[in-house]
Amino acid sequence: MDFMSSMEISASALSAQRTRMNIISQNLANANTTRTAEGGAYRRRITIFQARPFSNYMDQAMDENTISYGPGNDPRKGVYLEKIDKDPSPLKRVYDPKHPDADQDGYVELPNVEVVTEMVDLINASRSYEASVTAVNATKNMALKALEIGR
């Protein structure tokens, strides 16, 4: 694996974790939203990532003359965002008959966002982002050291 492949893999991880942090921020911002444009309370969003398989890349590294980027052989490396989905867990129901969004029984549906869970996920995403930055810096330092050898 060359330096550029390492950088591409780390860059994909940085992009994925940045997207994850943006979605977590959106969840936190809407933790009390009881009315959305779609109707009903806000539903927590979750990110679903997919890793690109590396076995094809190892085969290609052995024989660079036979590279073909057909179906199932994506030239991009690393991780990618497969989709942003809604969390299927049930919404919270709270009795508050004075709330403008209360149903005929006086219950209000609140978002299924748990602030503590979101904060833990945010810390996890932040640390993953930092680890990817460290990997980028390590790759950059290796490339610089390799250039020094040629002097």
What pTM was computed for the model?
0.79
Q: What pLDDT, in 10s, does the model give residues 43-87?
A: 999 999 988 766 555 555 555 544 444 444 455 678 888 999 999
- What pLDDT is recorded for position 91? 94
Mean pLDDT, residues 133-144: 91
Cite the beta strand spans of the chain per DSSP E: 45-51, 79-86, 92-95, 107-110
pLDDT tier at 143, thresholds 50, 70, 90? confident
Tokens found for residue 63? 């024989």
CA 78 → CA 5, 54, 55, distances in Å? 9, 8, 12
Domain ranges of the chain: 3-31+45-86+113-149
Count helices and strands in the chain by DSSP H and E runs: 3, 4
Other residues' Cβ atoms within 10 Å of the Cβ of residue 110: 19
